[in-house]
Amino acid sequence: MILPDGYSDVPAGKIAAVVTHLEMTARLALRPDPPGAWTLRRVETPGFDWFRDLYCRVGEKWLWFSRLRMADADLAAIIHSPQVEVYALVQDGRDEGLLELDFREPGQCELAFFGVTAKLIGSGAGSWLMNRALERAWSRQVARVWVHTCTLDHPSALAFYQRAGFRPFRRQVEVADDPRLDGTLPRSAARHVPMIE
Q: How far is CA 145 from CA 64, 133, 178, in A?
A: 21, 10, 29
Contact status, residue 114 vs residue 98, Cβ threshold 8 Å:
yes
3-class DSSP state of 135: helix
Once rounded to an integer, what is the mean pLDDT over residues 97-120? Answer: 98
Domain CATH code at residue 21: 3.40.630.30
Is the pLDDT at 2 greater than 80? The verdict is: no
Contact status, residue 23 vs residue 76, Cβ threshold 8 Å:
no
Is 187 a member of any domain?
Answer: no
Global pTM reads 0.95
Domain count, the chain: 1
The DSSP symbol for 35 reads P
Q: What is the pLDDT of residue 95?
A: 98
Is 158 a member of any domain?
Answer: yes
What amino acid occupies position 60? E
Is 49 a member of any domain?
Answer: yes
Give the structural domain span for 110.
15-26+36-177
